[in-house]
Amino acid sequence: MDALEGVRVLDIATVIAGPWGAGILADFGAEVIKVEMPGRGDSFRAMGPLKDGVSIRWPSMGRNKKSITLDFHYEEGKKLFLELVSKSDVIIENFRTGTLEKWGLGMDVLRKANPDIIVTHVTGYGQTGPYAHLAGLGTPLQAFSGMTYMTGYPDRPPVSPPFALADYIAGLNAVIGTMMALYHRDSMKGKPQEVDVSLYEGIFRMEEAMIAQYDLFGTVRERSPMPSGASCPIGTFETKDSRYAIIVCSTNPVFEHLCDAMQRPDWLPKYAKAKDRLADPKPIMDAVTAWVASMTYDELKKCCDKSGVPVSSIYSMKDIFEDPQYAARNDIVEVPCEEFGSVKMPAVFPVLSETPGKIKWAGPKLGSYNNEIYGNLLGKTEEELAALQKNGII
């Protein structure tokens, strides 16, 4: 049995955040019906990188989902959608706030079709507030969250992450919110809920230290390539063989382990406490920089591992593909797909001991499940399906 067997989700979202969250539910056995516009489908299908004009990201984003086509702009399309709603548990959508209402598919209409439906909204700014109706995409919302301001070097422009971090974090929060709403409805016999996820608040929720800093000290956290003011030593250090290693002593015991690795017992007890190290970080940082520079990365890694000091080189994707830890955990899996024969993608995560998730198929062709969903689930005849297709409704 799959963890989410019996849960049916309508994924009417587009691009990344909402669909990725729906994909996690699909990984663990929910029946996720991906509802797409006839003829063009989700915009993500055309997003690069491309191989022979086909997105290499779609097989992973669309995995385990059942693609159907449906145009909400037609009254008959809305009627079909509400039939699907009546047989589903969850809707995940990420249209601009108010769009469903504009289409005549507001919460009152959805609740009439299915009083138990859970609706998870994923938008740029959330369902309320003066910005609620504005368009929102991940990279601008990362800037809005305060994260971009703090990222990079102080003498250079701020830096955005190299992938859509805000979208993926929002997707995770969509999963968390959806699962809590399902638990509350089904196990606690509570009312079905709406889940309100914005792109910026998932990142903002992580900025606890910076919020308290500004509140209590009036201090604005400025750009730094590493977290500052919390740990020492902390940073990126270059080894003798020109590799970069990250070392962070975020607790006092870890610093003691570093003293052991560096054979610097003289640092104790003078620097035993974090407040003492942070009061005078330069001598420690200079010494660690010189120590790391005196060794190859392999020598450093061996020394740190022996003493219990967390360390890692900065991995490229090539490093990840070649690393035995990734291999042992089966973190990269090869999945057959029609477009490329097969493609590698991240494995299912998290790992459950009793009901592990699985990848049953790669992202399907647009509308490839029309017959199954409309025919088997909704009971439409072949003649009805042919008419719906002819009229551009599916």
**Angle ∠(225,227,231) on CA atoms, nearest 5:** 130
CA atoms within 13 A on the CB side of 96: 8
Q: For residue 85, what are the contacts with CB-CB under 8 A and spacing of at least 6?
A: 10, 91, 110, 113, 114, 117
**Which H helix or E strand runs over 89?**
none
Which long-range contacts (C-beta less than 8 Å, at least 24 apart) are formed by 371-376?
372/66, 373/33, 373/66, 373/68, 373/84, 374/68, 374/80
Residue with tokens 């382990």: 257
SS3 state at 86:
helix
- In angstroms, rounded to a whole number, what is the distance separating the alpha carbons of residues 48 and 76? 34
Sheet holding 194-198, edge to edge: 65-69, 31-36, 8-11, 90-93, 118-123, 194-198
SS3 state at 194:
strand
Residue type at 220 in one-letter notation: V
Phi, psi torsion values for 8, nearest 5 degrees: -115, 130
Q: Taking Cα atoms as reference points, which of 365, 367, 361, 358 lies closest to residue 339?
A: 365
Residue with tokens 């970069």: 244
- In angstroms, rounded to a whole number, what is the distance separating the alpha carbons of residues 311 and 304? 7
- In angstroms, rounded to a whole number, what is the distance separating the alpha carbons of residues 27 and 348? 6
- In angstroms, rounded to a whole number, what is the distance separating the alpha carbons of residues 357 and 203? 26
CA atoms within 13 A on the CB side of 90: 34
Would you call the peptide bond into 38 cis, given omega within 30 degrees of 0 as the criterion? no
266: annotated active-site residue:
no
Given 11, 42, 167, 196, which residue is catalytic?
167
Q: Which residues are catalytic?
A: 167
